[in-house]
Amino acid sequence: MTLRPAPVDTGILFRRADCAGATVAAQWRNVQESPLCTTVTNREGVSVATVEHLMAAFAGAEIDNLIVDLDGPEVPVMDGSAEPFLFLIERAGLLEQQAPRRAIKVLKRVEVADGDRKVTLSPDSSFGVTFEIDFPNEIVSRQDISLTVDAESFRADVARARTFGFFEDVERLRAAGLARGGSLDNAVVVSGDRILNRGGLRYADEFVRHKVLDAVGDLYLAGGPIVGHFHGVCSGHALNRRLLEALFSDPRAWCRTTLAVGELVEADWAPRARVARA
């Protein structure tokens, strides 16, 4: 995978070198239903899977325009978090562009539910995430967190949280052709009352923090940062996509705005956007 700077108004664009340079825009409209991850697909059927952690890193680094070159159908999983991507982006550096940084402002509450699982977007002056999880496991159990998410808090409080799974599910998933590359190197694995990974957890509540990371990445498929508050209850990628669909299907629920550089707050002037440097 190679990240390349892109002109203003490009957005985030995936380009498959193994598919004659076919491109797939990182947009919620292109999200295809897939288990365990977020996959984007273009009209010709070219897909890129597991984009959520990379998209979260782009959101955390405040990157607006970028081309992601890949030689296969999936973003490298790295360690199951956004930290390796964020580290390499910060090492490369960011380039400011002479254009407004555009965002999506939530104007009224939007909700999508599926049984006990629920996601909402509500008006707010910045971007915040509240998440609640409840698993029938004594290690994970009930966890909740609420954060205002900006570049600093994402790096410190979210980026290092790894995806997680349960040891008893491994054989079932692999029999279904899923998680074949999964290991202790790229996920937190829980077995009963034990964490199997050497070194244990990176945060005491790493599980719910990773759900925040996933939500940040999925919501960045809106086409830019969101000014509003997200609340997820035992939810996942599918509901996140449905939430964006519900938001954009109601023209009274959102509007476009611009942001001050480095801040997820509205600006009444034209700030500069940011892009990663090669």
Backbone angles phi, psi at 221, to 5 degrees: -75, 0
Domain boundaries, the chain: 2-276
d(CA 3, CA 151): 19
Q: Which helix (H) or strand (E) holds 41?
A: strand 39-41
d(CA 89, CA 63): 10
CB atoms within 10 A of CB 8: 14
The predicted pLDDT at position 36 comes to: 82
The predicted pLDDT at position 18 comes to: 97
The predicted pLDDT at position 175 comes to: 53
Strands (DSSP E) found in the chain = 2-5, 12-16, 22-25, 31-32, 39-41, 47-48, 66-70, 94-97, 101-106, 110-114, 117-122, 127-134, 142-148, 164-166, 188-191, 194-195, 226-233, 254-259, 273-276
d(CA 19, CA 26): 17
Report domain 2-276's class: alpha beta
The answer to whether 194 touches 139, Cβ cutoff 8 Å, is: yes
CA gyration radius for the chain? 18
What's at 237, amino acid-wise?
Answer: H
> pTM for the complete prediction?
0.91
Of the candidates 210, 229, 231, 237, the residue annotated as catalytic is 237
The predicted pLDDT at position 165 comes to: 86
How high is the mean pLDDT in each 10-residue block of the chain (278 residues)? 95 97 98 90 97 98 97 96 97 91 96 97 97 94 97 98 84 53 80 91 97 98 97 97 98 92 46 48
- DSSP label of 125: S
What's at 20, amino acid-wise?
Answer: A
Is 237 among the residues known to form the active site? yes
Going by C-alpha positions, the residue among 232, 234, 206, 200 that lies closest to residue 219 is 232
The residue count for the chain: 278
